Amino acid sequence: MKVPFNKPPICGGEIENIRTAISSGPLQGGGKFMGVCESLISGFCAGRPSLLTNSCTASLEMAAMLCDIKPGDEIIVPTYTFVSTVSAFVLRGAKPVFCDIRADTLNIDETKIEELITPKTRAIVPVHYAGVACEMDTIMDIAKRHNLLVVEDAAQGFFAFYKDKPLGSIGDLGSLSFHGTKNVVCGEGGALIVNMETAPNRNVSATDRANFIREKGTNRIHFLKGKIDKYTWVDLGSSYIPSELSAAFLAAQLPHTEELTRKRVEAWNFYKEALAPLEKKGLIKTGCIPDSCRTNGHIFYIITESEKRTKELADFLAKREISSNSHYVPLHTCPMAKQLGCPDVKLPVAEFSAKAMLRLPIHSYISKDELEYVCESVEAGLK
């Protein structure tokens, strides 16, 4: 049996929406389907203002600008994350300060954040790994006491929750992803969730400034709303707006968010239960979902006793035509971190987890037969 790692969801209305977009008007950003998407995303994110973007990376770059990050500022980030989490702020001149992760969730270790704060610290950027929330109450309390901003990297966290709060709606800003590998997709796409009222160091609403940034630094949003008769250059910005074709595709997927998530969570739960005997024997460790969290089932991973053991298992699964993957290289160990002058630190949980972790196939269409085959193969590979 051949088991692919991922299958992007297709919900049935994508082609019809794209036909409508092509026949009804301009294909650049700002059309009908973008409005539909933003309304739906806002509804999923506690009614917060939502700005659709051409990627989650773009939304993080917008967040860095909206936070008014300047050269010399520091941001505290987990080392175990995708490069966009950090590069968005480095592009504004910030220096990343890397934090280790928790062994149970692979999220930033909130108990280690405060010791990393300096007078230069400007923001904390927690990453909700695998669709499981970071310990946001603690993080928000630290941020409040030290007058710091919080930008949630919720790239993997769409329709996942912390204490019934949607991920991306808790910090000052939140970034979502609709990349082709995510639970709900449009190929390339993202969104910025704006939870602050006023833009830092600006006498303007945060949502207005986010719109200026997304539209190349212009006040086109005011032109489209009839507030001005022509728009002009008012701020820094870039081209972060998605085309109407991407928005049309996503608009067909978003109404199916609950169904797609439910199927993914069912697969996650199947793995958790079926692999429990191996975990009890100490052969693997699987991800933990704290009581305060509700996952979206984005990733299911196992951690073995060693890098060697994990590689052997991955090779064994490949021979059985099961696609599995490792994940991030901890950023503090990467060449760019050294180039930026980041200190040579040891972050042992991230370093070990990155080497010994293996992600198993999971998507909304994975069948019970496929899940059983993967679990049987994991058990056979560990004998």
pTM of the complete model:
0.97
The CB-side HSE value for 321 (13 A sphere, CA atoms) comes to 4
Q: At what angle do helices 206-214 and 56-66 cross, to 10 degrees?
A: 130
* pLDDT score at 90: 98
Residues 25, 36: one domain?
Answer: yes
CA angle 326, 5, 189 (to 5 degrees): 90
Which pLDDT score is estimated for 245?
98
Q: Give the type of residue at 313.
A: L
Which of 226, 255, 284 is where one domain is finished? Answer: 255
Q: Is residue 7 part of a domain?
A: no
Answer yes or no: is 115 within a domain. Answer: yes
CATH number for the domain spanning 357: value is 3.90.1150.10
3-state SS string over the chain?
CCECCCCCCCCCCHHHHHHHHHHHCCCCCCCHHHHHHHHHHHHHCCCCCEEEECCHHHHHHHHHHHCCCCCCCEEEEECCCCHHHHHHHHCCCCEEEEECECCCCCCECHHHCHHHCCCCEEEECCECHHHCCCCHHHHHHHHHHCCCEEEEEECCCCCCEECCEECCCCCCEEEEECCCCCCCCCCCCEEEEECCCECCCCCCEHHHHHHHHHECCECHHHHHCCCCCCCCECCCCCECCCCHHHHHHHHHHHHHHHHHHHHHHHHHHHHHHHCHHHHHCCCCEECCCCCCEECCCCCEEEECCCHHHHHHHHHHHHHCCECCECCCCCHHHCHHHHHCCCCCCCCHHHHHHHHHEEEECCCCCCCHHHHHHHHHHHHHHCC
Return the bridge partners of 216, or none: none
Q: What CATH number does residue 20 fall under?
A: 3.40.640.10
158 contacts 133 by C-beta, under 8 angstroms: no
Mean pLDDT of 250-277: 98
Domain-terminating residue out of 222, 255, 288:
255
What average pLDDT does range 86-106 have in this prediction?
98
Whether residue 124 is found in the same domain as residue 201: yes
**Based on the domain organization, do 22 and 91 belong to the same domain?**
yes
30 lies in a domain?
yes
208/326 same-domain check: no
Q: How far apart are CA 167 and CA 293, in angstroms?
A: 10
pLDDT digits (tens, 9 = 90+) for 316-350: 999 999 999 999 999 999 999 999 999 999 999 99
* Residues 157-196: tens digit of each pLDDT: 999 999 999 999 999 999 999 999 999 999 999 999 999 9
Q: What is the pLDDT of residues 185-238, one digit of tens each?
A: 999 999 999 999 999 999 999 999 999 999 999 999 999 889 999 999 999 999
Are residue 55 and residue 202 in the same domain, yes or no?
Answer: yes
Q: Is residue 35 part of a domain?
A: yes
Q: Which domain holds residue 117?
A: 14-255
Whether the predicted pLDDT of 115 surpasses 90: yes
Is residue 232 assigned to a domain? yes
Residue 69 CA to residue 286 CA, distance in Å, equals 37
The pLDDT value recorded for residue 352 is 98
Alpha-carbon distance of 98 to 89, in angstroms, equals 13
The token pair at 108 is: 């930033």
45 within 8 A of 168, measured Cβ to Cβ: yes
- The pLDDT value recorded for residue 224 is 87
Q: Which of 236, 255, 274 is the last residue of a domain?
A: 255
| 44-75 per-position pLDDT tens digit | 999 999 999 999 999 999 999 999 999 999 99
pLDDT over 90 (residue 358): yes
Residue 280 and residue 338 in one domain: yes
Q: Is residue 1 part of a domain?
A: no
Residue 25 has pLDDT above 90, yes or no: no
Say whether both 341 and 301 belong to one domain.
yes
pLDDT tens across 131-144, in order? 999 999 999 999 99
Q: Cα(341)–Cα(336) distance, rounded to whole angstroms?
A: 9
- Burial of residue 268, with CB atoms counted within 10 A of its CB: 0-12 exposed, 13-18 middle, 19 or more buried: buried
Same domain, yes or no: 166 and 205: yes
Number of domains in the chain: 2
Do 194 and 45 have their domain in common? yes
Residues 199 and 145 in one domain: yes
Q: Is the pLDDT of residue 244 over 90?
A: yes
CA distances from 60 to 21, 37, 63, 326 (A): 27, 19, 5, 24
